[in-house]
Each structure stands twice: as structure tokens, then as C-alpha cells.
Structure 1
Amino acid sequence: MINGEKILNQPIRWAMIGGGRGSQIGYIHRCAALRDSNFQLVAGAFDIDPERGRDFGVNIGVDPERCYKDYKTMFEEEAKREDGIQAVDVATPNGTHYEITKAALEAGLHVICEKPLCFETSQAEELEALAKEKNRIVGVTYGYTGHQMVQQAREMVKRGDLGKIRIIQMQFAHGGCNVATEADSAAQKWRTDPKVAGPSFILGDVGTHALYLGELICPDQEIESLLCTKQNFVEGRQLEDNAFVLLNYKDGAKGTLWASGVNCGSMHGQKIRVIGEKASIEWWNERPNQLRYEVQGQPACVMERGTDYLYDEALADDRIGGGHVEGLFESWANLYRRFALAMDACDRGDEEFLKDFWYPSVHDGAQGVKFVNKCVESADEGSVWVEY
């Protein structure tokens, strides 16, 4: 069980770009990063308005001299300090992720980036190559994958409890964008603007979360081809608010993915069901404490978080005793713990540790970008099968 003790001798000196006043995602990043004292927030360029950003930074305890007007100035000034930043968080609108992540890597910094990494597969491949060249860690915040029962599901697949995998059903289908929410919400406005959000709205915004959850639980399943159909149900919306994807995997398994913002009545709607030749498992992130385990011909079993019968790999992500409700902050904190371990191992040159250690990496982020691009290609060509 994790007791919140430090895992590093010295915390990683960390800065944020974006995530300022009024940013829900910025608050989640800070809570997760600072929970175990493995990161120390020492600087930031928190807002496009320098004065507002400086005022916000001071209010959360950052030295006013290290609250910068923009990220370029921050990189330049922090590089001059002996105690300068070692890692940076990119919590800005989608259209800025590529240039900021690239600049951070070129400045020799580790990066934690909101998804998507960028818009185009070629850009994602460039960032992946640059991270390797600079020997820096790039983490992508697929924030739901730090839940304990997701790790249990991964281990059950790995150990063969389900047998050969036949079907993977993924969905992230909520009803929060069932009307033109972008008319009254700045956060939703940029998400539906192709100039800022890129070629996709709902596939990029939530579909990639569902995809990575499937990739994490079933890492040996490689996509061979896909077919996508996407819709704009809300009148006047420029990008899709609903999409269905069919997936062929290289070993013969099949997959489905439903991404939606118009699933009326659904608060969140992120679920995954993995069906093997011997058994199936199902996880719903609105009930994160439970993992449903079903063996043909036997009573269905509901496994509970924090119990002794779970695999050790799952119990390692336990932050509170069984029976208490695990939440998003615990999941994100588990991911930030993994980011810290990966950055520390990278700085020490411990390639053996990194070889078998999972975290949502630059490669995973690049796969999300590729997935969105392939879905758009398929849908725009009339919902045809495309090679992956």
C-alpha cells in the first residue's frame, strides 16, 4: 500500500504552462503531482495574460520572480539558474501542445503533456524521435489509467486468466455536449474549433482515453485496420460529436470503440469490456472500485479494490483501504508517481528499469494521434476500412 512517502531523494523541480485560474485540469495536475512530494512546483507561465498569471502563481505559493509572461521566457530564464526547472507540464489548448513540447525537449526538460500531443502523425513521430534523442521522458495524461482495478485487469490479461482475447469493447460516451455548450463555455468553444482542437472533437477528446485504456489492459493487441463513422448531431458544430469505430487486431481479435458527447443522461460513460476464450472482465470508471469478472457457467464475480485477493501489481497502486471510494485524484496521483519514477530512472541512466515499466508515454501519445488521424481518414472517405 502506498503511504504517501517520498520515492525520490529530491523532488523534481517542476513548472506549469497554462493551468491557471479557472482551469479545472490545472488543479487536477497540481493535486496529483504534489500529493507524494515527488514534484515541487517552482515556476510557471500560467496564463496568456501575464499579470493574471503572476497573480495566480503567487496565490498558489510560487515565487513572483518565477511567474513568467510566457513559456519561452521561462525556459530561457530557468536555464540560467542552478535550481532551474527539470520538468514542465503542458496544460494548454490542443493547438499549442506540439510547439511547446518540442521547445521543452529542445531545452532539455522532461514533459508531461495533456493529450493530444499534437494534430498530425508526422508531428507525433517527430516528438517521439526528439524525446529519444534528448533522452527525456514525455508523459501523456491519460488520467483514468491510474485506477487500481485497471492494473488488476491488466494483470489478469497478462496472466492468462481470460485466455486468448477475442473481443475488446471500449466506450467513452457522455451526454455533456448534447446541446451547443460551446456557445456559453470558453473551454468547450476551443474544443470544437478545428483551428485549435485539430481534425477531431470527440474522438480526440475522449475516444483516445478509451483507446489507451484498451491498449494498457491488452498491450499485445496491435491494430491492423479500422473503419470509422462520425456524426455532427448538434447543428452548427464543426467537428464530430459522435463516432463509432470497428477494429481488426493482427491476431484475429476484434474491437469496437464508441466515443460520444451526445449520450443523453450519461454523466461519463467510460467503460471497457475484454472478452477472452475463458472469461470476460468489465470496468466502468463511474464505479472504479469494482471489476466485474465473469467465467462462462459460473456466477458473476465482482472484485473489489483494496482486497487481499488482488494481484500484487494492483495492490501497489492502493492509496486507501478497501471499502473507501477511489477517485480521479488517486488515479492521477498514481500516474504522476509513475512519471516521477520514469524521470528519475532516465536521469540515472537506468534503462533496465524503464524497459519493463509502464506509464502513458510519448509513444502512447503518438498512437493516440495516429488513431484519430486514421479514424478521420476512414470517415471522410465514406467509412471505409483503412490499414493501420
Structure 2
Amino acid sequence: MMNGTRRTARPIRWAMVGGGCGSQIGYIHRSAALRDRSFDLVAGAFDLDPARGRAFGAELGLAPERCYANHEALFDGEAARADGIEAVSIATPNSTHFAICRAALEHGLHVVCEKPLCFTVAEAEELQRLAHDRGRVVGVTYGYSGYGTIEQARAMVAAGELGEVRLVNLQFAHGFHSAAVEDDNPAIRWRVDPRFAGPSYVLGDLATHPLHLSEVICPDLKVRRLLCARQSFVKSRAPLEDNAVTLMEYENGAFGTVWTSAVNAGAIHSQKVRIVGSRASLEWWDERPNQLSFEVQGEPARVLERGMPYLHPEALAEDHISVGHAEGLFESWANIYGRFAAAMEATDRGDAARLAALRYPDIAAGVEGVRWVENCVRSADAGGTWVDYL
């Protein structure tokens, strides 16, 4: 059980690009990174409006001279300091991720980037090569992957408790955008504009979350081909989709489905992952993340509870509080930020053994998310046809 001790010998000097006043995700980045003191926020470029960004940085307690107008000024200014930043989180609209991430890596910084990592596989692979050449860590904020119940599901699949995996059913289908809410909300508007969001809306914004969870739980499953159909029920969002269904055939013969929607009227989140094996099934729901349903054929269904001693050790390693108390998304994010910090320190020390023992949503996960979306868009734009997974 975690007791709040730092995972690194000292805090990593850290900055943010984006995540300023009004950001949907800035606060959770800071809360997660600072929770166990693995990071120390010392600088930032928080806003497109430099004055507003500086004012926000001052509210966070940062020195005025370390609140910069943009990411270029941030990276150059910090590089000139003996106590400059060592890592940066990118919490900006999708269209900026590639350029900012590339610039950060070129300045020798470790990176935590919001997903999608970028718009194309070519861009993603360029970042992957650059990260490898510079020896830097790139983490991607698939924030749901830090739950202990996800670790439990992974361990159960690995132990053969489900038998042979046959079906993977995924969904992330909320209803909050069932009307054109972006007309009155700038924080949502960019998500449905291809200039800023890229080639997809819900496929990239929502579907890659349960997809990544399925990759964590079933790492041996590889997509062979897929078929995607997407719709724009709020017509002003076209060509971007607000609903999509994807079918996937895996190389071992398993089959997968993904329903992704922002127009599932009345639904809160409805992100679910169900893994069906030849002997038993598992199901996880992000609105009840402390429970994992386990259903063995011919036996009563059971619910596995977070923190209980009957769980696999991997599921207990990052508990923040004793069983019976609910943990949530902030704890999950704190877990992955702790792993990011450990990976960054191990990389800097050349500790290959420690780095190999860590599992976190890395740049390979980011590349795979971009690859999946690119294949889905290719299938949908061809009229919803099967395409080989490239």
C-alpha cells in the first residue's frame, strides 16, 4: 500500500504548457503530478494570452519570470537556467501536440502529453524516433489505466482465469453532447473542429481510452483488420463524428467491438470494458471503478472489490487508502504520474532494470492510439469497409 512517499530521490523540476484558467484537464494534471511529490511545478506557459497565463502562474505560486508567453519561450528560458525544467506536460488542443512535443524532446526534456499524441502515424513515429534518439521518456495520459482494478484484470487474464480470450467489448458512450453544446462553450468547440481536433472527434477523444485499457488487460491481442462506421448526428459537426461503431478481428481469432458516442442521451459516461473468455468474463465500468465483475460460467457472479487481500499483488501495489474507501480518477492519474516520474528517473540514471520493470502509458501506446484512429477513419471514409490494420 502506498504511504505517500516519493518514488524518486528528489522531485523532478516540471512545467506545463496549457492547462491554465478554465482548462478541463489542467487541475487533474497538477493534482496527480504533485500528490506524492515526485514532481515540482516551477514554470509554465499556461495560456494563449500571456498576461492571463502569468496571472494564473502567480496564483499557483510560481515566480513571475518563470511564467512564459509560449512554449518556445518556456523551453529556451528554462534551458538557460542551471535549475531549469527537466520535464513538461502538454495540455493543449490536439493540433499543437506534435510541434510542442517535438520541441520539448529537441530541448532534452521528458514529456507527458495529452492524447492523441498527434494526428498521423507518420508524426507519431517521428516523435517515437526522436524520443529514442534523445533518450527521453514520453508518457501519454491514458488516465484510467492507473486503477488497481485494471491491474487485477490484467493479472487474471495472464493467469488464465478467463480461459482463452474470445471477445473484447468496449464502449465509451456519454450523452452530454447530444445537442450542439459547442455553440455556447469554447472549451468544447475546438473538439469538433477538424482544424484543432484532427481527423476524428469521439474516436480520438473517447474510444482510445477503453482501447488502451484493453491493450493493458490483454497485451497479447493484436488487431488484424477492422471496420468502422461513423456518424455526425449533430450535422454541424461533420465531417467529424459524434458516434461510431468499430468491429475488430484479432490475429488469434478473437473479435472486438467498440461503441463510441457523445450523443448517448441520458448516459453519464458509460465507459465499459468487457473481456469474454472460454471459461469466464470480466467487466469494468468507469463509473464504479473500485469494482470488477467476474462471472464464471456455471457459478454465481461475483464482484471483486478494490483493496481486498484476495486480489493479485499487482492490484494492491498502488492503493492510496484502505479498503472500503472509494478511490477515483485523481488516484488513477496520480498512479500513472508516479510511474512517469519513476521512468524518467530510471532513464536519467541509466537504470535499465528498473525501467524494464515499469509499465506505464508510453509513447508506444500513444503511437498505437493514433494508428487505430487512422485506420478507423480510413475504413469509415471508404464507406465502412474492412481494412487491414496498417
TM-score between both structures, scaled by the size of structure 2: 0.99
Matched, 1:280 2:278: no
Q: Residue 146 of structure 1: CA displacement?
A: 0.7
Cα deviations by residue, 1:126-162 (Å, 9 ceiling, x for unpaired): 1111110110000000011111101110111111111
CA apart distance, 1:164: 1.2
The one-letter code matched in structure 2 to 1:331 is S
TM-aligned CA deviation for residue 24 of structure 1: 2.4
- Report what 1:89 is aligned to: 89
Q: Deviations over 1:311-370 (max 9, x none)?
A: 111100211111111111001000101101111111111222222421001110010001
Identity of aligned residues (%): 58
* Residue 204 (structure 1) aligned with residue 208 (structure 2): no
Q: What do residues 219-260 of structure 1 show as CA deviations (whole Å, max 9, x unaligned)?
A: 110111000000001122121000000001111111001110
| Alignment partner of 1:376 is 2:377 | yes
| Separation of aligned partners in 2, 1:163 and 1:348 | 40
Distance (Å, rounded) in 2 between the aligned partners of 1:66 and 1:337? 24
Q: Which residue in 1 is equivalent to 2:168?
A: 168
- The secondary structure found in structure 1 opposite 2:102 is helix
TM-score (norm. length: structure 1): 0.99
Q: Which residue of 2 aligns with 1:98?
A: 98
Q: Structure 1: how far apart are the matches of 2:109 and 2:312?
A: 35
Q: What SS does the aligned partner of 1:115 have?
A: coil
Deviation at 1:18, TM superposition (A): 0.4
* Residue number in structure 2 paired with 1:271: 272
TM-fit CA distance, 1:6 = 1.2
Cα distance between partner residues in 1 of 2:49 and 2:112: 22
Q: State how far apart, in whole Å, the 1-side matches of 2:244 and 2:99 are.
A: 28
Q: In structure 1, what is the equivalent of residue 7 of structure 2?
A: 7
Q: Which residue of 1 aligns with 2:75?
A: 75
1:141 alignment partner in structure 2? 141
Q: Give, in whole Å, the separation in 2 of the partners of 1:267 and 1:15.
A: 32
Provide the C-alpha distance between the structure 1 equivalents of 2:356 and 2:227, rounded to a whole number of angstroms.
Answer: 33
Whole-Å Cα distance in 1 between the matches of residues 236 and 80 of structure 2?
49
Q: Give the 3-state SS of the residue equivalent to 2:130 in structure 1.
A: helix
SS in 2 for 1:97: helix
Give runs of ≥4 in structure 1 deviating > 6 Å. none
Q: Paired residues, what number?
A: 388
CA–CA separation in structure 2 for the residues paired with 1:42 and 1:158: 41
Partner of 1:189: 189
Inter-partner Cα distance in structure 1 for 2:205 and 2:143 = 13
- Any unmatched runs of 5+ in structure 2? none
1:261 paired residue number:
262
Q: Which runs of 5+ in 1 are unaligned?
A: none
Q: Counterparts of 1:49 and 1:181 in 2: how far apart (Å)?
A: 24
Structure 2: how far apart are the matches of 1:380 and 1:79? 44
- RMSD, matched Cα: 0.7
The corresponding residue for 1:122 is 122
Are 2:15 and 1:33 aligned? no
Which whole-Å CA distance do the structure 2 matches of 1:244 and 1:102 have between them? 32
The residue type equivalent to 2:86 in the other structure is: Q
